[in-house]
């Protein structure tokens, strides 16, 4: 059985789909807002769980103890660096305290994967691609929270996966950045995108498929980077979306990050590139490129 904690977000929605497509397992999907049951797959059981509530977590975990085999994918988090910085106590409680309590009580489950971020690394200098064992130097409080949560997870001998910037059409019932780019360009309006900040970008669908495959592989590495081969700015990604969706590429406009009000609200790493050699070795993959189908042996 798979348990996806925080399953109704952008990545969670894709992970549910990947589990259904690539395994025969049943799924418990947790959320604080149970979706309409109409159209839901019969293999998915939605269950209320607020990770800040010890009673709620206890109820979920108690129900899992009778299961033969349990794999947990832990996605619950307080996102967005601006909101984390504005609400540090709440962010720490959700991102660190709640994770610690949940992981400690889930010691009986077979596999536990905590989903982290490239924000833990800090700035990549001269296009360096961070490896899993590189020092962590986050530049904002969000990154520090994720570092703390990772340390707890590894201490408990569980698994961490670090993800880059992710982008795909939304399956979550709300629009993602991808959808907003498409909608704006189809209206003939310009879309400004950073050209001077680089990430090892992946699609939500690709990340979900790789996470599920990694869990199924039974690998024992405490931390694995899940990312693409390419060094992509958001402007590069915008042009790729324009080509993919048959949009006018001239509507995708390159801008510098320093000119953005959002960028200047909270310190951010300009480039956070990751090395995916370990991932490709574990899963025997030749290449991982944004929007390309990934062949897993």
* Backbone dihedral angles phi then psi of residue 72, each to the nearest 5 degrees: -105, 130
The per-residue pLDDT for 38 is: 65
Q: Check which CATH number belongs to the domain holding 185 and give it.
A: 3.90.25
**pLDDT (tens digit per residue) in 195-206:** 999 999 999 999
| Strongest mean pLDDT among 81-85, 174-178, 236-240 | 236-240
Place of tokens 């050699």: 277
Residues with Cβ within 8 Å of 109's Cβ and at least 6 positions away in sequence, in order, are 3, 64, 70, 71, 72
Is 191 in the same domain as 50? no
Check if the beta carbon of residue 17 is closer than 8 Å to that of residue 87: no
205-225 pLDDT, tens digit per residue, is 999 999 999 999 998 899 999
Q: What is the pLDDT of residue 219?
A: 85
CATH number of the domain encompassing residue 76: 3.40.50.720
Q: What are the tens digits of pLDDT across the range 225-284?
A: 999 999 999 999 999 999 999 999 999 999 998 777 666 678 889 899 999 999 999 999
Name residue, tokens 């990934």.
Answer: 294
pLDDT at 133 over 90: yes
Q: Which residue has the tokens 């006018």?
A: 248
Count of Cβ atoms closer than 10 Å to residue 68 Cβ: 6
The pLDDT of residue 262 is: 67
Q: How far apart are CA 212 and CA 210, in angstroms?
A: 5
Q: Which residue has the tokens 């944004």?
A: 290
Asked if the model's pLDDT at residue 101 lies above 90, the reply is yes
Q: Residue ranges of the alpha helices (H) in the chain?
A: 10-22, 54-64, 81-86, 88-92, 98-105, 141-155, 177-186, 204-217, 234-244, 261-265, 277-283
Phi, psi values for residue 137, rounded to 5°: -135, 65
Same domain, 58 and 20: yes
Class of residue 35 by CB neighbours under 10 A (exposed 0-12, middle 13-18, buried 19+): middle
The pLDDT value recorded for residue 35 is: 79
Whether residue 250 sits in one domain with residue 236: yes
Predicted TM-score (pTM) of this structure: 0.96
φ, ψ of residue 57 to 5 degrees: the values are -65, -45
Q: What is the mean pLDDT of residues 19-27?
A: 96
Q: What is the pLDDT of residues 29-72, one digit of tens each?
A: 999 988 777 667 899 999 999 999 999 999 999 999 999 999 99
The predicted pLDDT at position 40 comes to 78
What's the token pair of residue 125?
Answer: 């200098």
> Structurally, how many domains does the chain consist of?
2
- Residue-number span of the structural domain to which 216 is assigned: 2-168+201-230+272-283
Question: What's the pLDDT score for residue 80?
Answer: 86
**293 occurs within a structural domain:** no
- pLDDT in the model for residue 33: 86
Q: What is the chain's mean pLDDT, rounded?
A: 95
Going by pLDDT thresholds of 50, 70 and 90, the confidence category of residue 22 is very high
Residues 95 and 210 in one domain: yes
pLDDT above 90 covers a percentage of the chain that reads 88
Beta pairing partners, 161: 115, 224
């Amino acid at each position: 059985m798979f348990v996806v904690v925080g399953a109704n977000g952008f990545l969670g929605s894709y992970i549910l789909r990947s589990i259904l497509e690539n395994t025969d397992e049943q799924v418990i999907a947790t959320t604080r807002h149970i979706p309409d049951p109409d159209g839901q797959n019969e293999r998915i059981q939605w269950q209320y769980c607020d990770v800040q509530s010890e009673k709620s977590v206890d109820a979920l975990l108690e129900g899992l103890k009778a299961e033969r085999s349990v794999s947990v994918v832990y996605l619950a988090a307080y996102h967005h660096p601006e909101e984390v910085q504005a609400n540090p106590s709440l962010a720490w409680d959700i991102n660190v305290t709640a994770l610690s309590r949940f992981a400690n009580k889930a010691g009986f489950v077979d596999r536990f994967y905590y989903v982290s971020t490239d924000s833990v690394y800090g700035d990549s200098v001269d296009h360096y691609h961070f490896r899993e064992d590189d020092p962590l130097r986050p530049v904002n409080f969000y990154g520090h929270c994720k570092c703390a949560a990772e340390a707890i997870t590894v201490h408990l001998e569980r698994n961490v996966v670090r993800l880059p910037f992710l982008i795909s059409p939304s399956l979550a019932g709300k629009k993602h950045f991808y959808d907003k780019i498409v909608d704006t360009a189809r209206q003939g309006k310009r879309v400004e995108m950073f050209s001077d900040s680089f990430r090892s970008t992946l699609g939500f669908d690709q990340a979900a498929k790789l996470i599920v495959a990694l869990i199924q592989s039974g690998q024992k590495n405490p931390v694995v980077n899940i990312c693409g081969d390419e060094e992509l700015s958001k402007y590069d990604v915008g042009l790729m979306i324009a080509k993919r969706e048959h949009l006018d590429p001239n509507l995708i406009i390159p801008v510098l990050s320093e000119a953005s009000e959002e960028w200047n609200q909270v310190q951010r790493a300009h480039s956070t590139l990751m090395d995916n050699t370990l991932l490709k070795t574990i899963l025997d993959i030749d290449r991982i490129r944004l929007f390309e189908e990934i062949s897993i042996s």
